[in-house]
Amino acid sequence: MAPMREAKGSKRRGRDVRHSGGGFVRNWLPPLLVVALLASGLAAYRFEWGQRYLPWLAADPATEPEQVLLPAGLDLPEWSAPIAPTAVDDAAAAVVPDRVASALRADLADPDLGRHVVGAVSSLAPGSEPWTSGDGRFLPASTTKLLTVGAALETLGPDHTFTTRVVRGDSPREVVLVGGGDPLLASRPLTVAEAATAYPARADVATLALEVADALGGAGRVRVRYDDSLFTGPTDNPAWRRDYVPDDIVSPITALMVDGGVAPDGLSRSDDPSAAAADAFAEALRAAGLRVAGEPRRDVVRPGAEQLAAVEGAPLAQVAERVLDVSDNEGAEVLAHHVGIATSGTGSFEAGAAGVLATLDALGIDVSGDEVYDGSGLSRRNRISTSTVLGLLQEAADPDSAALRTLVTGLPVAGFTGSLTYRFDEGPALARGLVRAKTGTLTGVHALAGIAVDRDGVPLAFVLAADKVAPEDRYDAQDALDRAAGSLATCRCSRTPG
């Protein structure tokens, strides 16, 4: 009886299973089909299957742009018609003070900015009347780099390049590496992958070593000397905080640096960048097949020494773009030293700072109230006026000042490039892409200076800064300045003739 009961039970379970399977199909198949259809639709949109496999159904972006769907996640502001159908004359435009004040009032009054806040906004027309707020004089931090780069472009020219040479020393088998103050000189060539994204291209001492080895026959014994005498004076700026160089915040500044003074370990900075560059060069000579005797030693080349090889860095315009984009402290200081050489024959911190102000003064920019002690803005003794920065931006935007144009094109773009890549995440989305600015940041100091395109398409020069910010408010202060600059992009702050 038991086996029979089991058999009956087995049949009963079989009927239950078949019944349950039918219920699964009826209950779950329709939702699964819906999910599959939605997934297919999403994939077709994401991977453009329609355009790829059914081209007759796809909208043509050239003839039917209004039918092309926007990429997912793109947030665009509402479109509004310009004031007039004619092009705006940027040079003739003028700011409307009341409108600028209204646009910036709330953000510049943010208590997180502390008790000393300055602001200035003007059109790009040289000498145009600006809107100002505060006393106009501030600690600029890295916005100092605008002055340095502007002076370098003016004195040297945008096409100027920096050459690193090797000459024959006192004996036929002695070679001297001569620093030419190339801000971007590297220890080795870029890999193919690195070269695909690196900008600008860089000269390197490894390539130089190969040329030297070839000039010496590819074999034999050599002694290495190095000459960094192009720059003089201290390598650590007396106007910097005493811990900046020892704590690897910035490298000592010399005329012969590789990799911006960063040590081979990639984690620290060289105490003597010139000696480190010579070591890298000597190692490259060994790799090229030469035997290097002893350690490299500092020397000064004799006049007329035979040149064995040379490498040339990127044009200054490209170097300037990088210095502004990533706020390169070492690069800015090297450029300031070159300004000193061009204006006084001396490549030092003091001569460079004096040369920068003298160059701006020669451009007709009033620098009488400015104090500059370095090229990077690391010095807390620096004080410049908002009018100096506005005047320089206006000069750079002038169609007749082609030499300074990089000062504008090299500015980071809000939300997209350089030091502004991860900024402007608050405030109007419209500002991302319509504000270009140089940042300035030190403990207690936050600044932005650049160009914003207002709602009517008129570019406006601006300077916004707060230099007495409480340490705990640093991020909120930064956001407040971003919002203020962004407000210029949403403002109809300009007046045009007629």
Residue of 123, 145, 187, 385 marked catalytic: 145
Is 145 one of the catalytic residues? yes
C-alpha distances out from residue 41 to 34, 38, 286, Å? 11, 5, 61
Distance between CA atoms of residues 261 and 282, nearest Å: 17
Distance between CA atoms of residues 263 and 243, nearest Å: 18
| 412-415-420 Cα angle (round to 5) | 40
Q: SS3 of 332, please?
A: helix
* Tokens linked to 454: 């207002």
Q: Sign (positive/negative) of CA torsion 209, 213, 215, 216?
A: positive
CB-hemisphere CA count at 13 Å for 309? 20
The Cβ of residue 350 has, within 10 Å, a number of other Cβ atoms equal to: 18
* Tokens linked to 243: 């811990």
Kind and range of the H or E element at 120?
strand 117-123
Rg, Å, the chain Cα set = 31
Distance between CA atoms of residues 468 and 201, nearest Å: 39
Judge whether 301 and 167 are in contact, CB under 8 Å: yes
Number of H helices, E strands in the chain: 13, 15
Residue of 122, 123, 133, 142 marked catalytic: 142
Distance between CA atoms of residues 494 and 91, nearest Å: 11
Distance between CA atoms of residues 83 and 456, nearest Å: 7
Write down the residue that tokens 């005498």 correspond to: 229
Distance between CA atoms of residues 467 and 132, nearest Å: 16
Residue of 327, 348, 385, 487 marked catalytic: 327
For residue 157, give the nearest of 311, 317, 333, 312 by alpha carbon: 317
Distance between CA atoms of residues 256 and 233, nearest Å: 14
Distance between CA atoms of residues 289 and 218, nearest Å: 6
Burial class of residue 6, CB neighbours in 10 A (0-12, 13-18, 19+): exposed
Distance between CA atoms of residues 498 and 496, nearest Å: 6
Is 80 one of the catalytic residues? no
Is 327 one of the catalytic residues? yes
Burial class of residue 363, CB neighbours in 10 A (0-12, 13-18, 19+): middle
Residue 396 CB contacts under 8 Å (≥ 6 apart), including other chains: 150, 404, 405, 407, 408
Active site residues: 142, 145, 327
